[in-house]
């Protein structure tokens, strides 16, 4: 079996091996991956620091060429990498390939951005003086990623970090090292100088913590849970470093009486259950007005009956397994909590056995839920959603916004008035009208508000805000 090592200062190193297990078939070992200790983490940080000065001064054509080559290889290998993704994370093959294409598009976008760096020249208020405003790299960027988008999230952090001239210490999630290793390998072969990109697979409590504790990391971009995000924030303030957090969600999807029922059902099924509900933008609160409530629940139940839960790589599978035993237990615990709180199961709620041993769970729909229940307030992060009945649009909007989170928010309606009002008043970073709450473009800003996010937006041109520092220079001619 191939042993995939960490990349530190341009060398592949590592001794301690961890198996990467397929959640669709726990007998299937995807590969063996290194798990770094504290000394390797420190070596990676030192290498990124040492490479920082010269990479910051690298030519834009060199950065463009490396990002472009990476994009091309990811696209050319989309089937193989998509398969690897689905095998290690459990989303369906179509979703795995789609996410891989997304990663390619992101590298392509930032390859272009490297050639479009701009500044401003403006007159000073003092005659005879010119002012230049430019963006410079931040320095060493620490990248910490979660397991649920094994290739897209690393791509949307690594690509802009390199584009704007930063060096990187990258720690992927323990559960899905495969795709991270693959894109680091591609970037390394594409010609990145040694030390510019360092991969340190390993435990959050060791490698991640070493990154948080290091004064030599100038910025940390983090996607993951609220608990870990708060640690990143506290440590970053201690070290006076820049940080960016993308965390949980409890995204609402509102269905109004005037909605097109099939648009509402397709959007809700996609939002709540595709990718096994393991998306930060998934909707777990379906807020439905009285007049359409019963029709919506009946149509949802019918639709859920037709969804195939099985091995992620099997043709015909609509929903793959939950990512691991811990996440499955969390989902089952919340299903029990929902029952005890008085919500009723309209569909699902049970584990499923398939040909291979895996973490299979029925898509689960609760009805008669209230927004005060724990299942409506806490992130479950599985294929579990609740229908909350409301009397009208005004109550729906109030319930939608009554949450500590604010990542994505959706509405199904044919009313221009309500759609417009919702776009303006939803307390979320992203608003979707007659579309699922999940599923975004790669060239526009991504992020949330309230308890979901902190710091500048990711992706598109807006990424420059995090990955650069602004300099204002005055010249008297």
410 sits near ligand NAD (criterion: CB under 6 A): no
End-to-end CA distance of the chain: 65
Considering the candidates 246, 302, 350, 394, report the single residue annotated as catalytic: 246
Among 407, 411, 412, 431, binds ligand NAD (CB under 6 A): 407
Q: Single out the segment in contact with ligand NAD by CB under 6 A; choices: 73-81, 166-174, 189-197, 310-318.
A: 166-174
247 sits near ligand NAD (criterion: CB under 6 A): yes
CB count in 10 Å sphere of residue 347: 19
Nearer Cβ to ligand NAD (349/451)? 451
Q: Are 461 and 468 in contact (CB under 8 A)?
A: no
167 sits near ligand NAD (criterion: CB under 6 A): no
52 sits near ligand NAD (criterion: CB under 6 A): no
Task: DSSP letter for 381, please.
Answer: -
Among 37, 98, 204, 439, binds ligand NAD (CB under 6 A): 204
Q: Single out the segment in contact with ligand NAD by CB under 6 A; choices: 188-196, 247-255, 256-264, 369-377.
A: 247-255
Burial of 1 (0-12, 13-18, 19+ CB in 10 A): exposed
Among 96, 104, 248, 321, binds ligand NAD (CB under 6 A): 248
**Residue whose pair of structure tokens reads 């509405």 in the numeric block:** 411
From residue 339, alpha-carbon distances to 345, 349, 371, 383 in Å are: 8, 10, 15, 16
Nearer Cβ to ligand NAD (175/346)? 175
What is the spatial distance between Cα 179 and Cα 81, in angstroms, rounded to a whole number? 7
What is the spatial distance between Cα 415 and Cα 289, in angstroms, rounded to a whole number? 14
Q: Are 283 and 314 in contact (CB under 8 A)?
A: no
Q: Single out the segment in contact with ligand NAD by CB under 6 A; choices: 14-22, 54-62, 121-129, 240-248.
A: 240-248
CB count in 10 Å sphere of residue 356: 16
113 given a catalytic annotation: no
Closest CA to 77 of 4, 151, 1: 151
457 sits near ligand NAD (criterion: CB under 6 A): no
Beta strands (DSSP E) in 340-463 are 344-347, 351-352, 360-361, 364-369, 384-390, 408-412, 430-433, 453-454
What is the spatial distance between Cα 194 and Cα 190, in angstroms, rounded to a whole number? 12
224 sits near ligand NAD (criterion: CB under 6 A): yes
Cβ 446 to ligand NAD, closest distance in Å? 7
Among 25, 113, 216, 246, binds ligand NAD (CB under 6 A): 246
Backbone torsions φ then ψ of 29, nearest 5 degrees: -95, 120
Closest CA to 171 of 195, 206, 213: 206
278-297 residues near ligand NAD, rule: CB under 6 A: 280
Q: Single out the segment in contact with ligand NAD by CB under 6 A; choices: 45-53, 203-211, 300-308, 395-403.
A: 203-211
208 sits near ligand NAD (criterion: CB under 6 A): yes
349-388 residues near ligand NAD, rule: CB under 6 A: 379, 381
Task: Please report which helix (H) or strand (E) contains residue 51, including its range.
Answer: helix 38-56
Binding-site size for ligand NAD (CB under 6 A) equals 28
Among 23, 249, 451, 455, binds ligand NAD (CB under 6 A): 249
Q: Single out the segment in contact with ligand NAD by CB under 6 A; choices: 58-66, 217-225, 312-320, 359-367.
A: 217-225
Active site residues: 246
Write out the residues near ligand NAD by the rule CB under 6 A.
Answer: 144-149, 171, 173-174, 204-205, 208-209, 212, 223-225, 228, 231, 246-249, 280, 379, 381, 407, 452
């Amino acid at each position: 079996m191939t042993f995939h090592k960490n990349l530190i200062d341009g060398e592949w190193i590592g001794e301690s091996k961890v198996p990467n297990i397929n959640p669709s078939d726990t007998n299937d070992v995807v590969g063996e991956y290194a798990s770094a200790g504290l000394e390797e983490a420190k070596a990676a940080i030192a290498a990124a620091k040492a490479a920082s000065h010269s990479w910051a001064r690298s030519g834009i054509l060199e950065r463009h060429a490396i990002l472009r080559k990476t994009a091309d290889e990811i696209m050319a290998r989309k089937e193989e990498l998509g398969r690897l993704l689905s095998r290690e994370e459990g989303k369906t093959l179509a979703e795995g390939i789609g996410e891989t294409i997304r990663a390619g598009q992101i590298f392509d976008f930032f390859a272009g951005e490297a050639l479009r760096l701009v500044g401003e020249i403006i007159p000073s208020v003092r005659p005879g003086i010119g002012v230049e405003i430019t963006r410079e790299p931040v320095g060493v960027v620490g990248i910490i990623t979660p397991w649920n988008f094994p290739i897209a999230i690393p791509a949307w952090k690594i690509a802009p970090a390199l584009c704007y001239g930063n060096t990187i210490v990258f720690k992927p999630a323990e559960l899905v090292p495969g795709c991270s290793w693959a894109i680091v390998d591609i970037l390394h072969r594409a010609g990145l100088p040694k030390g510019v990109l360092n991969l340190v697979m390993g435990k959050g409590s060791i490698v991640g913590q070493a990154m948080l504790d290091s004064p030599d990391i100038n910025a940390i971009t983090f996607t993951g849970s609220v608990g870990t995000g708060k640690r990143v924030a506290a440590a970053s303030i201690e070290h006076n470093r820049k940080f960016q957090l993308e965390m949980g969600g409890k995204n609402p999807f509102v269905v109004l009486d005037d909605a097109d029922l099939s648009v509402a059902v397709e959007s809700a099924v996609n939002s709540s259950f595709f990718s096994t509900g393991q998306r930060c933008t998934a909707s777990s609160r379906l807020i439905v007005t009285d007049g359409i409530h019963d029709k919506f629940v009946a149509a949802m139940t019918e639709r859920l009956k037709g969804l195939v839960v099985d091995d992620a790589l099997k043709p015909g599978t609509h929903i793959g397994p939950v990512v691991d035993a811990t996440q499955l237990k969390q989902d089952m615990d919340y299903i029990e909590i929902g029952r005890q709180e008085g919500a009723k199961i309209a569909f699902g709620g049970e584990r499923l056995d398939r040909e291979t041993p895996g973490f299979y769970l029925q898509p689960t729909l609760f009805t008669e839920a209230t927004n005060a229940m724990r299942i409506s307030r806490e992130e479950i992060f599985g294929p579990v959603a609740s229908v909350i009945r409301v009397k009208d649009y005004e109550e729906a909007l109030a319930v939608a916004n009554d949450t500590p989170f604010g990542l994505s928010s959706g509405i199904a309606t044919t009313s221009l008035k309500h759609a417009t009002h919702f776009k303006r008043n939803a307390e979320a970073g992203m608003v979707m009208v007659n579309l699922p709450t999940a599923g975004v473009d790669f060239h526009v800003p991504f992020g949330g508000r309230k308890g979901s996010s902190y710091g500048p937006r990711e992706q598109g041109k807006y990424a420059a805000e995090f990955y650069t520092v602004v300099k204002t220079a005055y010249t008297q001619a």
